Structure 1
């Protein structure tokens, strides 16, 4: 299995697990404050890990041309998206909001294909639709009584939140070759501060330490580590495929709730599982291969000396050792199976 696929599924598993794990806390934390603390745990935790890794604070490594993409991703994904969702949840039912959140992978893929010209064949499209169908089935309201919506503004706000996160995913793809810890940490920190500020504005109080500590830890794992893995997956798979794999998170979260919390299994769960397994199988068995041209490129990321990295070093570095530095790619034309990763973002 491709390493980037493992990153994407692991990101979905950690994010999906955050909901049932947060439920284990058994506390009455307001939703906006809970979201803020989870994001804050993500941002603070990742920045601490980065300082430990680098033995102190180091520069981001982002080039001047990459900063606008990251700032845009933070604005749309860390500020506008959460605010729009919280506003929408006050004006719509939870069931409707859960169903509408399935718009995010759809909009992510559409933006990737239409705006950013990312390649996708019919197999990938069908796989994505199957995974999304599984998410719709899983989040379908179990009650036979329809919920009356308060206003059309609620669903519209949730849809706008999905659109913001779709933009976030595609903008993050543009900087995914850079330090994943910095990217994920910055996004988590800004989203946490914004959501906590909104919560305090709405009258929330500071939570006790015995609630704060496990909440921050769950945020670090379910939002922080998950986002790092998501960025690594974007690096190797592109936005549309990563978004499709990540949309298995509700199913993985439900599976964890069944195993950890002992919740009952419904027929809808198994129907959703069948859809998602079929969709993931379609993606895993994809084979995209053709003669393609690599334009000259200079960037920095962790790599080994493979077919795309044949350059000299000032000091001897074994080909099998993974290392990171700024390097140049000459123009080359060849033929091999590939994904729309950071080296294969060409037109078709």
Structure 2
């Protein structure tokens, strides 16, 4: 129960940081091009996390003594795909969409990321998603359609489609990142920022955008460090403990934080469709949060590296001198075991049903 609470809190904190970024991006878009802003966000994320890792190594040099912080060769393709989808295409589509979409509407549309994440996890990667999670996704999709549809118009506004496209890119990113989530979350997020930032800045420069002043650039990078960097680190940790679909469900709360800040920055009475969409999305998130999954299952032998405690899934000896500190990180092997308990499709429960 404590593990579930901690994992849920981690995902919700990631959602809060990311949700707050959307209205701040809308504010900064007044003078910056979409690609320039996306580049500064990710560059701030990568640089900030890189400095954080440097400080961590200097303050606690023994922390990684027995860990393997390298991304393994077999995982590079997954990480590269995640960076391309979530670090380059996703933020660019979001920034373009926000130029013609109200901040509050854009914030609520970001709920679609959780839905797309769950659908891809279910259909492509065969992660278990039960009826309750499915009904939650239906409610969130209905809210997104209600929110983005323009009465009397021939279709959905282009801005809303661009935001939805960004959500799809991030959903692909989430599912590919799950494949490498046993690695150091800070390393994963830092690499994404250091690659995606310069790529977006290069695109901005190629389209004629000029670099902003130092103060504006610093503000954008600081926003990116918190909303893209720290948020992504927390999200990867949640992926490790909850699985992709469940983490996406918790992350769907992100727009609620964005809406609150949007309405504070631009005071206005939201239209009726806004409240209807908010109710539908809230119902969907509630269904996701109350889901419980329990059955007899078998763990196959597995060797990997991640931060852990010696719980019922970690009954192993150490081949190095251990001072008894927990949690700790080192390569370890899991023996086959069959048991029954409530669980999520985390890194230890990726079994078929």
User: TM-score interval w.r.t. the shorter chain?
Assistant: 0.7 to 0.9
Secondary structure in 2 matching 1:333: strand
Supply the distance in 1 between the matched residues of 2:157 and 2:19 (Cα, whole angstroms).
29
For residues 105-120 of structure 1, what are the structure 2 equivalents within 5 Å?
105-120=114-129
Match of 1:277 in 2: 282
Match of 1:336 in 2: 341
1:258 to partner: Cα distance: 3.1
Specify whether residues 296 and 62 from structure 1 end up closer, same or farther in structure 2 by C-alpha distance, changes over 3 A only: same
Specify whether residues 106 and 340 from structure 1 end up closer, same or farther in structure 2 by C-alpha distance, changes over 3 A only: same
Match of 2:202 in 1: 197
Match of 1:221 in 2: 226
Equivalent residue in structure 1 for 2:56, among 42, 49, 53? 53
Q: TM-score, normalised by structure 1?
A: 0.85
Is the Cα–Cα contact under 8 Å of residues 131 and 248 in structure 1 kept in the other structure?
no
Specify whether residues 4 and 263 from structure 1 end up closer, same or farther in structure 2 by C-alpha distance, changes over 3 A only: farther
Secondary structure in 1 matching 2:292: coil
1:266 to partner: Cα distance: 4.9
Runs (5+) with no aligned partner, structure 1: none
Is the Cα–Cα contact under 8 Å of residues 294 and 331 in structure 1 kept in the other structure?
yes
Q: TM-score, normalised by structure 2?
A: 0.84
For residues 142-221 of structure 1, what are the structure 2 equivalents within 5 Å?
146=153, 161-221=166-226
Match of 1:315 in 2: 321
Supply the distance in 2 between the matched residues of 1:70 and 1:26 (Cα, whole angstroms).
29
Is the Cα–Cα contact under 8 Å of residues 105 and 247 in structure 1 kept in the other structure?
yes
Is the Cα–Cα contact under 8 Å of residues 135 and 248 in structure 1 kept in the other structure?
no
Equivalent residue in structure 1 for 2:135, among 111, 119, 126? 126
Tell me the C-alpha RMSD between the 2 structures. Answer: 3.2
Specify whether residues 263 and 132 from structure 1 end up closer, same or farther in structure 2 by C-alpha distance, changes over 3 A only: same
Is the Cα–Cα contact under 8 Å of residues 299 and 348 in structure 2 kept in the other structure?
yes
Secondary structure in 1 matching 2:298: strand
Match of 2:148 in 1: 140
Supply the distance in 2 between the matched residues of 1:144 and 1:115 (Cα, whole angstroms).
35
Equivalent residue in structure 2 for 1:324, among 314, 329, 339? 329
Specify whether residues 200 and 267 from structure 1 end up closer, same or farther in structure 2 by C-alpha distance, changes over 3 A only: same
Specify whether residues 103 and 18 from structure 1 end up closer, same or farther in structure 2 by C-alpha distance, changes over 3 A only: closer
Secondary structure in 2 matching 1:2: helix
Specify whether residues 247 and 196 from structure 1 end up closer, same or farther in structure 2 by C-alpha distance, changes over 3 A only: same
Match of 1:241 in 2: 246
Supply the distance in 1 between the matched residues of 2:86 and 2:297 (Cα, whole angstroms).
33
Supply the distance in 2 between the matched residues of 1:220 and 1:263 (Cα, whole angstroms).
29
Count of aligned positions: 340
Match of 1:347 in 2: 352
Residue-by-residue CA offset, 1:134-181 (whole Å, 9 max, x unaligned): 4445x436x756488899xx9887766544332211110011111000
